Amino acid sequence: MTPLLQISDLHAYYGKSHVLHGVNLQVGQGEIVSLLGRNGVGRSTTIKAAIGQVQARGSVRFKGEEMLGLKAFEIVRKGLGYVPENRDIFATLTVEQNLMLGEVAGRKSRWSFDDMYRMFPRLHERRHVPAGVLSGGEQQMLTLCRTLMGDPDLIMIDEPTEGLAPKVVALVAEYLDVLKSRGVSVLLVEQKLAIALEISQRVYVMGHGGIVFEGSPAQLRADSEVRKTWLEV
Protein backbone atom coordinates (compact mmCIF):
# COMPACT_ATOMS: atom_id res chain seq x y z
CA MET A 1 0.00 0.00 0.00
CA THR A 2 1.30 3.48 -0.76
CA PRO A 3 1.95 5.47 2.41
CA LEU A 4 -0.19 8.51 3.10
CA LEU A 5 2.88 10.73 3.19
CA GLN A 6 6.07 9.80 1.41
CA ILE A 7 9.04 12.13 1.59
CA SER A 8 11.86 11.05 -0.72
CA ASP A 9 15.33 12.49 -1.24
CA LEU A 10 14.24 15.84 0.17
CA HIS A 11 16.78 18.64 0.03
CA ALA A 12 16.12 22.07 1.52
CA TYR A 13 17.88 25.41 1.38
CA TYR A 14 17.87 28.71 3.20
CA GLY A 15 19.46 30.88 0.53
CA LYS A 16 22.82 29.22 -0.18
CA SER A 17 22.73 27.18 2.99
CA HIS A 18 21.90 23.55 2.17
CA VAL A 19 20.32 22.10 5.33
CA LEU A 20 18.54 18.89 4.27
CA HIS A 21 20.59 16.35 2.35
CA GLY A 22 18.16 13.77 1.07
CA VAL A 23 15.58 13.03 3.76
CA ASN A 24 13.45 9.89 3.34
CA LEU A 25 10.49 9.21 5.56
CA GLN A 26 6.98 7.87 5.39
CA VAL A 27 3.79 8.05 7.39
CA GLY A 28 1.14 5.39 6.82
CA GLN A 29 -2.60 5.79 7.16
CA GLY A 30 -3.49 5.91 10.86
CA GLU A 31 0.10 5.99 12.11
CA ILE A 32 1.71 8.23 14.69
CA VAL A 33 5.31 8.68 13.62
CA SER A 34 7.90 10.71 15.50
CA LEU A 35 10.84 12.61 14.08
CA LEU A 36 13.51 12.99 16.74
CA GLY A 37 16.91 14.62 16.89
CA ARG A 38 19.03 17.26 18.55
CA ASN A 39 18.57 20.99 18.08
CA GLY A 40 19.38 22.31 14.65
CA VAL A 41 19.49 18.99 12.76
CA GLY A 42 16.64 19.96 10.44
CA ARG A 43 13.44 18.53 11.93
CA SER A 44 11.42 21.73 11.58
CA THR A 45 12.88 22.34 8.16
CA THR A 46 11.64 18.91 7.04
CA ILE A 47 8.05 19.69 7.86
CA LYS A 48 8.26 23.28 6.64
CA ALA A 49 9.60 22.01 3.32
CA ALA A 50 6.73 19.54 3.11
CA ILE A 51 4.21 22.35 3.59
CA GLY A 52 5.87 24.58 1.02
CA GLN A 53 7.43 27.12 3.38
CA VAL A 54 11.07 26.41 2.58
CA GLN A 55 12.84 26.15 -0.76
CA ALA A 56 13.19 22.43 -1.48
CA ARG A 57 13.76 19.75 -4.09
CA GLY A 58 13.10 16.03 -4.09
CA SER A 59 9.63 14.67 -3.55
CA VAL A 60 6.83 15.02 -1.02
CA ARG A 61 3.93 12.82 -2.05
CA PHE A 62 0.70 13.08 -0.10
CA LYS A 63 -2.13 10.69 -1.02
CA GLY A 64 -0.01 9.85 -4.04
CA GLU A 65 0.15 13.43 -5.26
CA GLU A 66 3.26 15.63 -5.44
CA MET A 67 3.17 18.57 -3.00
CA LEU A 68 6.46 20.27 -3.88
CA GLY A 69 5.69 23.29 -5.98
CA LEU A 70 2.23 23.84 -4.51
CA LYS A 71 1.44 26.82 -2.29
CA ALA A 72 1.00 26.27 1.46
CA PHE A 73 -2.74 27.01 1.31
CA GLU A 74 -3.20 24.50 -1.52
CA ILE A 75 -1.39 21.82 0.48
CA VAL A 76 -3.56 22.50 3.54
CA ARG A 77 -6.67 22.20 1.40
CA LYS A 78 -5.56 18.72 0.33
CA GLY A 79 -5.65 17.65 3.96
CA LEU A 80 -2.06 18.02 5.12
CA GLY A 81 -2.16 20.06 8.34
CA TYR A 82 0.72 21.83 10.08
CA VAL A 83 0.99 23.02 13.67
CA PRO A 84 4.04 25.28 13.89
CA GLU A 85 6.28 25.36 16.96
CA ASN A 86 5.70 29.04 17.66
CA ARG A 87 2.01 28.77 18.59
CA ASP A 88 0.90 31.40 16.16
CA ILE A 89 -2.50 32.35 17.47
CA PHE A 90 -4.22 35.65 16.76
CA ALA A 91 -3.75 37.31 20.15
CA THR A 92 -6.46 39.96 19.89
CA LEU A 93 -9.13 37.57 18.56
CA THR A 94 -11.10 35.36 20.92
CA VAL A 95 -10.50 31.65 21.28
CA GLU A 96 -13.62 30.95 19.25
CA GLN A 97 -12.66 33.38 16.47
CA ASN A 98 -9.27 31.65 16.27
CA LEU A 99 -11.03 28.31 15.81
CA MET A 100 -13.23 29.76 13.05
CA LEU A 101 -10.13 30.91 11.20
CA GLY A 102 -9.00 27.30 11.08
CA GLU A 103 -11.97 26.20 9.03
CA VAL A 104 -11.06 25.61 5.41
CA ALA A 105 -13.61 26.80 2.87
CA GLY A 106 -15.04 23.91 0.90
CA ARG A 107 -13.79 21.25 3.33
CA LYS A 108 -16.41 19.70 5.58
CA SER A 109 -14.69 18.85 8.85
CA ARG A 110 -15.06 15.67 10.90
CA TRP A 111 -14.47 17.98 13.89
CA SER A 112 -16.94 20.43 15.40
CA PHE A 113 -16.40 23.26 17.86
CA ASP A 114 -18.01 21.00 20.46
CA ASP A 115 -15.43 18.29 19.78
CA MET A 116 -12.68 20.81 20.50
CA TYR A 117 -14.37 22.04 23.65
CA ARG A 118 -14.98 18.47 24.85
CA MET A 119 -11.32 17.60 24.30
CA PHE A 120 -10.10 20.77 25.98
CA PRO A 121 -12.72 22.10 28.44
CA ARG A 122 -10.36 24.98 29.26
CA LEU A 123 -10.89 26.34 25.78
CA HIS A 124 -14.65 26.23 26.30
CA GLU A 125 -14.39 28.17 29.54
CA ARG A 126 -12.26 30.74 27.81
CA ARG A 127 -13.93 30.79 24.39
CA HIS A 128 -14.80 34.52 24.56
CA VAL A 129 -11.43 35.60 25.92
CA PRO A 130 -8.72 37.10 23.67
CA ALA A 131 -6.34 34.27 22.83
CA GLY A 132 -3.34 36.41 23.81
CA VAL A 133 -4.12 36.06 27.51
CA LEU A 134 -4.11 32.24 27.47
CA SER A 135 -1.28 30.31 29.13
CA GLY A 136 1.36 28.64 26.96
CA GLY A 137 -0.33 25.26 27.28
CA GLU A 138 -3.73 26.68 26.36
CA GLN A 139 -2.27 28.44 23.33
CA GLN A 140 -0.70 25.15 22.26
CA MET A 141 -4.10 23.43 22.50
CA LEU A 142 -5.71 26.27 20.57
CA THR A 143 -3.13 26.05 17.78
CA LEU A 144 -3.73 22.30 17.54
CA CYS A 145 -7.52 22.76 17.51
CA ARG A 146 -7.36 25.51 14.91
CA THR A 147 -5.48 23.18 12.57
CA LEU A 148 -7.98 20.37 13.26
CA MET A 149 -10.86 22.63 12.24
CA GLY A 150 -9.44 22.43 8.71
CA ASP A 151 -9.97 18.64 8.92
CA PRO A 152 -6.49 17.38 8.05
CA ASP A 153 -6.01 13.68 7.24
CA LEU A 154 -2.43 14.01 8.43
CA ILE A 155 -1.17 16.57 10.89
CA MET A 156 2.49 17.54 11.28
CA ILE A 157 3.12 18.94 14.75
CA ASP A 158 6.33 20.71 15.69
CA GLU A 159 7.34 20.29 19.36
CA PRO A 160 3.88 20.62 20.90
CA THR A 161 5.13 19.91 24.41
CA GLU A 162 7.97 22.43 24.50
CA GLY A 163 7.85 24.58 27.60
CA LEU A 164 4.74 22.90 28.99
CA ALA A 165 4.25 21.61 32.53
CA PRO A 166 4.43 17.79 32.87
CA LYS A 167 0.67 17.54 33.44
CA VAL A 168 -0.05 19.42 30.23
CA VAL A 169 2.52 17.31 28.36
CA ALA A 170 0.59 14.18 29.38
CA LEU A 171 -2.60 15.81 28.11
CA VAL A 172 -1.08 16.56 24.71
CA ALA A 173 0.08 12.94 24.40
CA GLU A 174 -3.40 11.76 25.28
CA TYR A 175 -4.99 13.92 22.61
CA LEU A 176 -2.64 12.77 19.91
CA ASP A 177 -4.16 9.36 20.59
CA VAL A 178 -7.66 10.83 20.21
CA LEU A 179 -6.64 12.09 16.77
CA LYS A 180 -5.45 8.65 15.84
CA SER A 181 -8.74 7.13 16.96
CA ARG A 182 -10.52 9.47 14.54
CA GLY A 183 -8.33 8.37 11.67
CA VAL A 184 -5.94 11.34 11.65
CA SER A 185 -2.32 10.36 11.07
CA VAL A 186 0.39 12.27 12.92
CA LEU A 187 3.97 13.26 12.17
CA LEU A 188 5.30 14.49 15.49
CA VAL A 189 8.53 16.42 15.92
CA GLU A 190 9.58 15.92 19.52
CA GLN A 191 12.43 16.57 21.84
CA LYS A 192 11.05 14.44 24.67
CA LEU A 193 12.12 10.88 23.93
CA ALA A 194 9.84 9.27 26.54
CA ILE A 195 6.64 10.72 25.06
CA ALA A 196 7.65 9.89 21.50
CA LEU A 197 8.45 6.28 22.39
CA GLU A 198 5.22 5.93 24.28
CA ILE A 199 2.78 7.12 21.62
CA SER A 200 4.47 6.38 18.26
CA GLN A 201 4.26 3.29 16.12
CA ARG A 202 7.51 4.20 14.38
CA VAL A 203 10.30 6.67 14.98
CA TYR A 204 12.94 8.38 12.87
CA VAL A 205 16.07 9.99 14.23
CA MET A 206 17.63 12.84 12.33
CA GLY A 207 21.24 13.97 12.42
CA HIS A 208 22.82 16.76 10.33
CA GLY A 209 20.17 17.02 7.63
CA GLY A 210 19.47 13.31 7.08
CA ILE A 211 17.75 10.33 8.70
CA VAL A 212 20.20 8.23 10.73
CA PHE A 213 17.79 5.73 12.30
CA GLU A 214 14.39 4.32 11.44
CA GLY A 215 12.56 1.71 13.51
CA SER A 216 10.05 0.87 16.19
CA PRO A 217 10.14 2.46 19.65
CA ALA A 218 11.36 -0.90 21.00
CA GLN A 219 14.25 -0.91 18.53
CA LEU A 220 15.27 2.60 19.53
CA ARG A 221 15.04 1.73 23.22
CA ALA A 222 17.35 -1.20 22.60
CA ASP A 223 19.85 0.82 20.53
CA SER A 224 21.93 2.73 23.06
CA GLU A 225 24.53 3.52 20.37
CA VAL A 226 22.05 5.54 18.29
CA ARG A 227 20.66 7.25 21.38
CA LYS A 228 24.12 8.19 22.61
CA THR A 229 25.36 9.43 19.24
CA TRP A 230 22.27 11.26 18.03
CA LEU A 231 19.93 12.05 20.90
CA GLU A 232 21.45 12.34 24.33
CA VAL A 233 23.30 15.49 25.25
Which residue of 7, 23, 31, 43 would you call a contact of ligand ATP, by CB under 6 A? 43
Which residue of 20, 26, 37, 44 would you call a contact of Mg ion, by CB under 5 A? 44
Q: From ligand ATP, Mg ion, none, which one binds at residue 163 (CB under 5 to 8 Å depending on kind)?
A: none
Query: Of the listed pieces 41-49, 105-113, 141-149, 216-224, which binds ligand ATP according to CB under 6 A?
Result: 41-49
Which residue of 44, 98, 143, 161 would you call a contact of ligand ATP, by CB under 6 A? 44
Does position 160 interact with ligand ATP (CB under 6 A)? The reply is no
3-state secondary structure the chain: CCCCEEEEEEEEEECCEEEEEEEEEEECCCCEEEEEECCCCCHHHHHHHHCCCCEEEEEEEECCEECCCCCHHHHHHCCEEEECCCCCCCCCCEHHHHHHHHCCCCCCCCCCHHHHHHHCHHHHHCCCCEHHHCCHHHHHHHHHHHHHHCCCCEEEEECCCCCCCHHHHHHHHHHHHHHHHCCCEEEEECCCHHHHHHHCCEEEEEECCEEEEEECHHHHHHCHHHHHHHCCC
Contact letters for Mg ion, residues 129-158 (x by CB under 5 A): ------------------------------
Does position 200 interact with Mg ion (CB under 5 A)? The reply is no
User: What is the distance of C-alpha 233 from the center of its chain?
Assistant: 23
Q: Which is nearer to ligand ATP, 44 or 140 (CB)?
A: 44
CB of 48 to ligand ATP, least distance (A): 7
Which residue of 7, 27, 41, 51 would you call a contact of ligand ATP, by CB under 6 A? 41
CB of 15 to ligand ATP, least distance (A): 7
Which residue of 14, 21, 221, 232 would you call a contact of ligand ATP, by CB under 6 A? 14
Does position 161 interact with Mg ion (CB under 5 A)? The reply is no
Query: How far, in Å, CA of 150 to CA of 97, rounded?
Result: 14
Q: Which is nearer to ligand ATP, 13 or 175 (CB)?
A: 13
Which residue of 22, 40, 69, 163 would you call a contact of ligand ATP, by CB under 6 A? 40
Residue type, 223: D
